[in-house]
Structure 1
Amino acid sequence: MRPIPGVSLQRKLLLWLLLPQLVLWLSGGFLAWRIALQNGEKGIDQTLTQSVRALARQIKPIGDGLLVDFPKAAQDILEQDPADRVTYMVSSPPGRFLLGNAQLPPPPPVNVDVGEPFLYHTRVDDRPVRVALLEVDYGTPQARQRLRVQVAQSLTVRERIAQELLEKMLLPMGLMGLALSAVVYAGVLRGLQPLKRLEAQIEKAGARKRNTADPLPPIELTSAPQEVHSLASTINALLEAVARGQQKEKRFLNDAAHQLRTPLAGLIGQTELALHESREPPVQERLHKVLSAARRSAHLVHQLLQLARSESSVAMQTVDLAALAREVARDWAARAVASGVDLGYEGEEQLAVQGHPLLLREALNNLIDNALHYAGHGATVTVRVDIAGAGMAALAVEDDGPGVNPAHLRDLFARFWRGSDQPGGCGLGLSIVEEIALQHAGQSFADPVVPHGLRVGLKVPLSAAAPRT
C-alpha cells in the first residue's frame, strides 16, 4: 500500500509564516481602532471638561438667585453642527431643569464631588454621547443651594475620526503586509531550492539506474544549508552501503559459479564415461538421470556467471546488430534442426548500434535458447532486427509456440520465474537479457503474437551513423 503524501513542506512553512502575520495584522488593525477611539475620547473629555467649567463660570449667583450670562450666539455655535452637536443643561437643584436641553438624561447613581467634573456615557435621541457633569454650590451660608451643569457631545465625530485614522493606517499596513508576504514567499522558495535540487538529483539518479546496471552515484551539493548537506550525506552513506552489498553479492555469485564449474565438468565427464562402459540397463538409466541433473546444474552455473558479468560495467562500441544476429542464428541452426524447429532471420541487412558484442551475443543466445526450449517441435522461430523508433533498435526472437498468459508477460524477466513445467530451464535466461538491456541504456520487452506465440527481445540505442526514424 502506497503511503498517502502529507502536506508539502513549502505549504507548511507558508502557512506557519503567513497565517500568524495575518492574525497579527488584524490584531494590529483592531488595536489601532481602539487606540484611535481612546485618543478621540480623551480629546472629547478635555473639550467637555473645559466647556462645563466655562459654562459654570457663566452662571453667577445673585442673592438667592442665579444670573446666567450665556449669550444666544454662543449657544448657536455649540449646536450648529448636527453631526457633532454639543448640548448642555443647567438644573438647580440637580435634576430640576433651568436652561438648555431638557432631554439630557440624569447621570448614573454615583456620588459626585462638588467642583470636580464627572464624565459618563449615555444616549440622546438614540445616539451615543459623552457627558461632562459639574456640580457647584451657591447661595448664602444660611441657605446653601446646589447647581448642576451638564455638557454633552455626540460621539459620531469621534468614531468618524477613528475610522478615517484607521483607514489611513490600514493602507500602509496592508501594503507592508503584502510586501512582507512576498518577501516571506520568496524566502521560502529560495530556502527550499536545495531540497528541490536534491530531489532532482535523486530522480535523475533513479532514472539512470532504471536504464543501467551501474550503482547509483553519490549526490553532490555545492551550496546548501547544513541540514540539507547532512541529509545528502546520510543518503550517500546509504547508497554506498547498498553498492557494497551489491558488489559482495556479485563477487559471491561469480566466485561460487567459478568454483562449481570444475567439479560439474568432471562429474559430467565421468558420468559420460560410465555410460559408455556400463551395459546394464538399470545402471544406465540412473547414469542418464545423473548426467541430466549435472548438465542442468552446469547450465545454471553458466547462467549465473553470465548474470554476474552482465551486471558489471563494460565499454560500448559500434556493433552491426544485423550481422551479429545472423551469425548467432547460424550457430544455433544445427540444434534447431535437431529440435524440429525452423529457425530463420528477418530484418535489416545492416544496423549499427552502440553496444558490447559479447553481451549482445549472450542476450541473443538466451533468447534463441528460450524459444527453442518452449516453442515445441514443429514451431517456427524467427530472429528479427528492426528500427524501433526514438533512436532505438530492436533485437527480438519470435515464435509461434503456445506463448504465455498476458498477465505474466512482465514476470518473464523475473529471476528464477518459469512459465512452464518443462525440464531443462532454470529461470535466469530472460533475466540476463533484461540486465544486458539495462547495461545498454535500453529495455527488454515481451509481446504476444497473434494468433499464438511470443515475441521477446531488447531495445538498444542506435549508433550515431545509423539511420533514425
Structure 2
Amino acid sequence: MRPAPSLTRHLLAWVLGALTIVWATFIVVGYKTGEHEADELTDGHLASVSSLLLPLAQGGLAPNGVPPRMIAKPELKAHDYQSSLTVVVWDAQGRLLSHTGDAPAPPFEVPEGFASVSLGTPAQAWRAFSRWDPARTVKLTVMLSEAERDELAADIAEQVTEPGLWLLPVVALLLGLAIHRGLKPLRELAHDVHALDPHRAHKVQAPGRYEELAAAVDAINRLVDRYQLVLTRERALANEIAHELRTPLASIALQARSVQDAPPGPSQAAAVARLQEDALRAGDVLAQLLALARTSRAELDEAAQQLDLDAVARRVVSEFAPDAHAGGRELGLASPGPFPVSGHPVLLELALRNLVQNALAHTPPGTQVEVELDPAARSLQVSDDGPLRAGAPGEAASARVQPLRLGLGHRVVEKVAALHGATFEPDVRLPGERRAWRILFPASAPQLQA
C-alpha cells in the first residue's frame, strides 16, 4: 500500500517554492544592482581623478614635451579595486601634453563628459571622462578599460549576491525544522484521535487550544457525542427488542407444544389462534426493528429536504382508510392546508404510519381515529375517542380500553421526532374523552431555494 503523503513535506515544498521565487528575484536584482553601482563607482572614480589632476595640468603637467609611457608593474596592483587608469592632456590647440597609462591616446575631439570609445588595434573599448579647465586652455581625459571596469562590476555584484547563495539552503533547513516543530500540535491531535475508544465517552482535547485546531476538535467531539448517543440508543433498543421478543417467542413455543399435545377440539383451536397471534406479534416486533434501523441509517447518511406534511398525511390516510372501514373504525384527516417542514419524507411517513396503525390496531370497533395537522402550532397528532369495551355496557369511564402503545412503534416515532428536532408527546388528554399522540415540530426554518 502506498504511504500517505506527508503534510510537512507538502507544506515545506510550497513554502520553499515561494521562497525560491523571491530568492531568485532578489539574486537577479542584487546582481544587476551591483553591476550598476560598480559602473557608477568607476565613473565617479574617473571624474574624481580628473578633478584632482586638472589643476596640475594648468601649471604645466609636462613642460618638456610628451613624457614616456609609464610601465606599470603587475605586482604593484595589489588591491582588487585598484584600477589601471590612463591620463591624457592636451592644450587648447590639440597638442598632446601628457599621456600616462596603457590606453592609446584618444582623438582630441572626444566630447566633454563620459563616453565609451574604441581604440587600438585590435580595437578595445575604453570608458573615458573628458573636461576642460575653466579657462579652456587645457583639456584632460581619464580613461579606464571597459573589460577591467566590467570585471570590477562583476566582482562587486558577486560579493553582493554571494550571501544569498548560501542563504537559501540555511533558510530551507531552518524552515523545515520550524514547520516540523510547528505541526507538533497537529500530530498530537492525530495521536489523540487514533487513541479514541468507540466504547468509551472520551473526548479529544485540543493541544494548547490553538484557534486553528479548535474547529477540528469541536467537530471530532460532536461526532464522538453523536456516536455515543447512537450507541446508547442502540443498546437500549437491543434490550427492548430482547424483552419484546422474549414473550411472544416463549408463548409460540408453549402454544406449539399445546397444539401438539391437545386433542382436536376447542382447546386446540384456541391454542392455534394464540399461536397465530404471537407469531404476528413477533413479526410486528421485527418490522419495527427494521424501521428503527432505517431511521439510524437516515440519521447518519441522508440529508433533509423541504416537504409538505399535509401531502404525506393525505397519502397515509387514504391508504389506511379501507382497512379502517373494514375493521369498523372511522379514519379522518383534519388539515387546513400545506404544512411545510424540513426533514426526511420517508421517515416522517413511517412515523405517521406507526401512529395510525397503533390507533387502528389497539382500539375496538366503533372508534373514530383522526389525523390532525396544525401548521400554526407546528403540530401533528393522531387522536381517538376510545369507546368502551364491547360487551361491557355500564362500565365506568376508567374501564376504557387502554391502548398498548408504549412498545417499539412509539420508539420509532420518538426517534424520528428527535431526528427532526421535534418533541413526541404520547397519550395527551383532549376534551371529550379523547386522547392523542402528538409530534411538535420546531419553529419553521427558511424555505430551501429551488
- Higher relative contact order, structure no. (Cα contacts within 8 Å, ≥ 6 residues apart): 1
TM-score between the two structures when normalised by the length of structure 1: 0.44
